[in-house]
Amino acid sequence: MRCSIDLDRPGKREGYVQLNHSNNRHAYGVIPLPIGVIAGDTGPTALLTAGNHGDEYEGIVILQRLFHVLEPDQVHGRIIFMPSLNLPAVREYQRTSPLDGANMNRVFGDPALSGPTREIATFVEETLISQADFAIDLHSGGKMCEFSPCGFIYGVGDKEHLQNKIRAAHHFGAKYTVVVEGSSGSLSAAGERAGIVMLSAELGGGRIQRENIEIGYTGTTNTLAGWGLLADSPRETRTTFLRSGFAGSSVMSPIAGAFEPLTNVGQAVHTGEVVGRIHSLDALDQPPVTVCAESAGIVVGQRAQAHILRGDFLLHLGEEVEESELLKPLN
Ligand SMILES: [Zn+2]
């Protein structure tokens, strides 16, 4: 893939990474993925990405806004922007790529995979992450899910690396930061392979919410400041860490129907608490089925669409974890 701009020289430039793809819609042209760079004096390199999933526009709004207000004389080092990473999916407002059906956040790091989505991931990992010191990948729940606005870090690596990620999560400053083991196919996993300090975020979802944009925008700029990339000193913000993936942390729907949520994201629930009701779509003789939390926790994410099938997720829960616990590596 060819990048139309010089990423090294000082200054502010925007252009395209050219994805070659030939099908009925794109016969002989390229799909131009937007890329920008703001480079000031010497310093580290940060990569900022959004649109990894094509129906998550919060990060696109944040990175577009930041690119247009930030100037090279405010930057120590270099910030590379790719706000619509999986542009084919972003253009269609779909989570996965319409070109090959791939979920971009599952195709990093596997040389056996091929296709346009994998091609973008390879460019990001081999050309951008390889020259970055830091990265932030902005997500949300897209059309399907609403997250309590939160940071995400992988709870892996040695103590110093974990401390760097914990510090970044505090500077991002969302109320909660979820610590996960992670998967090998994500952009965050690519960051881990390269040994860079990497943070992702889930900034709401369902619909764009102004407060989530502000959390993501101030979180991104404050994290950049904490990494020494901006002239301003970072504000000393704090986050509370949550762990997910424990037994009962995912609440699934037992039947198909209409989901009536009885919780809000960010709230605490106790074991056995009724968190939702499922109503029949096609009969009046069946009472609603109540759904209970099998474990206590904070509602990190909740289904945003009412139409559900048996097995669809309704809620994701997180449980609070002390920072000292995080420094005991998972792997
Ligand atoms: Zn996402």
ipTM: 0.99
pLDDT of residue 184: 86
**Ligand 1 centroid distance, CA of 185 (Å):** 13
Query: Half-sphere exposure of 35 toward its Cβ, with a 13 Å CA cutoff?
Result: 23
Whether the per-residue pLDDT at 35 is higher than 80: the answer is yes
**Ligand 1 centroid distance, CA of 155 (Å):** 19
Give dist(CA 105, CA 102) in Å, integer.
9
pLDDT of residue 268: 97
Backbone angles phi, psi at 116, to 5 degrees: -60, -35
Query: How far lies 64's CA from each of 37, 82, 84, 234, in Å?
Result: 12, 9, 10, 21
**Ligand 1 centroid distance, CA of 16 (Å):** 22
**Ligand 1 centroid distance, CA of 52 (Å):** 6
**Ligand 1 centroid distance, CA of 184 (Å):** 15
Q: Out of 117-126, 180-189, 292-301, 307-316, pick the least confident.
A: 180-189
**Ligand 1 centroid distance, CA of 283 (Å):** 36
List where CATH 3.40.630.10 sits in the chain.
2-242
Q: Where are the beta strands (DSSP E) in 60-205?
A: 76-82, 134-139, 145-147, 150-154, 176-180, 197-202
Whether the per-residue pLDDT at 239 is higher than 50: the answer is yes
Whether the per-residue pLDDT at 23 is higher than 80: the answer is no
Cβ(263)–Cβ(275) below 8 Å: yes
CB-based contacts of 69, cutoff 8 Å, min separation 6? none
Cβ(51)–Cβ(83) below 8 Å: yes
pLDDT of residue 29: 78
**Ligand 1 centroid distance, CA of 268 (Å):** 24
pLDDT of residue 115: 93
Q: The tokens of 243 are what?
A: 């762990």
List where CATH 2.40.50.100 sits in the chain.
250-320
Mean pLDDT, residues 235-262 taken together: 95
Q: Where are the beta strands (DSSP E) in 97-183?
A: 134-139, 145-147, 150-154, 176-180
**Ligand 1 centroid distance, CA of 9 (Å):** 31
**Ligand 1 centroid distance, CA of 225 (Å):** 24
pLDDT in tens, 167-196: 999 999 999 999 998 788 999 999 999 999
Whether the per-residue pLDDT at 331 is higher than 50: the answer is no
Cβ(218)–Cβ(171) below 8 Å: no
pLDDT of residue 273: 97
**Ligand 1 centroid distance, CA of 291 (Å):** 26
Mean pLDDT, residues 202-216 taken together: 96
Give dist(CA 286, CA 289) in Å, integer.
9
Whether the per-residue pLDDT at 301 is higher than 90: the answer is yes
**Ligand 1 centroid distance, CA of 282 (Å):** 33
**Ligand 1 centroid distance, CA of 162 (Å):** 23
Residue 318 burial (10 A CB sphere; 0-12, 13-18, 19+) = buried
The letter for the amino acid at 5 is I
Whether domain 2-242 has CATH 3.40.630.10: yes
Percent of the chain with pLDDT over 70: 98
Percent of the chain with pLDDT over 90: 91
CATH number for 250-320 (one of 2.40.50.100, 3.30.1330.10, 1.10.3720.10, 3.40.30.10): it is 2.40.50.100
**Ligand 1 centroid distance, CA of 28 (Å):** 30
**Ligand 1 centroid distance, CA of 46 (Å):** 20
Angle of helix 210-226 versus helix 159-172 axis, rounded to 10: 140
**Ligand 1 centroid distance, CA of 239 (Å):** 21
Cβ(304)–Cβ(206) below 8 Å: yes
**Ligand 1 centroid distance, CA of 41 (Å):** 33
Q: Which residue has the higher pLDDT, 267 or 328?
A: 267
**Ligand 1 centroid distance, CA of 93 (Å):** 12
**Ligand 1 centroid distance, CA of 8 (Å):** 29
**Ligand 1 centroid distance, CA of 165 (Å):** 19
Confidence band of 27 (pLDDT split at 50, 70, 90): low
Q: What is the pLDDT of the chain when averaged over all its residues?
A: 95
